[in-house]
Amino acid sequence: IYLKKTANHFLNKLEPKFKKIRHQIIEGETFDSILNQYLVDKKEIQNLKDKLSKKINLNNLNTNQKIYLTINQSNNKIKSFTFQISNKEKILLSKNEEDNFKQEVILTKLDKRIVYQENIILKSLYKSATDKRIPVNTIVELAGIYGFQIDFQRDIRKKDRFQIMYEIFVDENGRAIESGNILFANLILSGEDNSLYYFDKEGSTGH
C-alpha cells in the first residue's frame, strides 16, 4: 500500500501541467456540457461563449465539428481553444499575458486539382461512380446536369460507360476537402456519346 501511494504521488507529479484534448461533437451535446466534462472553470466557459457567440451559433452545434483545447490542470483554465467551423475555417482563442483571450481566424489554404475518371456501368451509374471514389456531391451534380435529357431508369443499359472531368480542392496534406465544377462529362449509351462541357461566360454558367 505504501509503495502504491508513493508511486501514485510521483506519477501525479510527472503529469503534464497542460492537457491537450480533441473532442468531436456528438448529437445532444451542448457547449457547456462538453466543457463541464473536462472540469473547465465556469468563468472560463462564459468567457469563451462571450467571444465565440459573435461568430458561431453555440445553440446549434454540428456533429461534424471538432473542438481542440489545452487546459492548465493546476487551475482548470484554458490556455488555448480551437473551434472548427468548417473544413476551411477555424477559430483559435489563446490566452495573452493579461489572461484574456486573443481571437484569430485560421483559414485553410486549398489547392485546386483536376481529376479525370471513367468506368463501365454494370449495376448503376451511382455504383460505378462511387467505385472510382468520385465525391457524392459530384455524382449528384452529374445526375442533375443530365436530368433533362437522360432517363436513368430506361436509357442506361449494362456495359454503358461514363467519362467525367471535375475539380476538387485539397488541403496541404493532399486531403480532398470539397468538390468543384464538373468541367466535362460524357455518358456513352448504346455506343452514342452524350457530351456536356462547362461554360462560364459573361456571368452565365452551365453545361
Higher pLDDT: 17 or 181? It is 181
| Reported pTM | 0.58
Higher pLDDT: 188 or 174? It is 188
DSSP string, 54-80: TTS-TTS--TT-EEEEEEETTTTEEEE
pLDDT at 34: 87
What span, in angstroms and rounded, lies between the C-alpha atoms of 142 and 161? 14
In the numeric block, which cell numbers belong to residue 117? 475518371
Higher pLDDT: 185 or 37? It is 185
What span, in angstroms and rounded, lies between the C-alpha atoms of 200 and 132? 27
pLDDT at 1: 60
Confidence of residue 72 (pLDDT cuts 50, 70, 90): confident
Encode pLDDT of 39-56 as tens digits: 888 888 888 888 887 777
Encode pLDDT of 79-130 as tens digits: 888 888 777 788 888 887 777 888 888 887 888 999 999 999 988 888 999 9
What span, in angstroms and rounded, lies between the C-alpha atoms of 15 and 150? 64
Please give the distance of CA 7 from its chain centroid, rounded to a whole number.
43
DSSP type of residue 149: T
Encode pLDDT of 2-42 as tens digits: 665 565 555 455 456 778 888 888 888 888 888 888 888 88
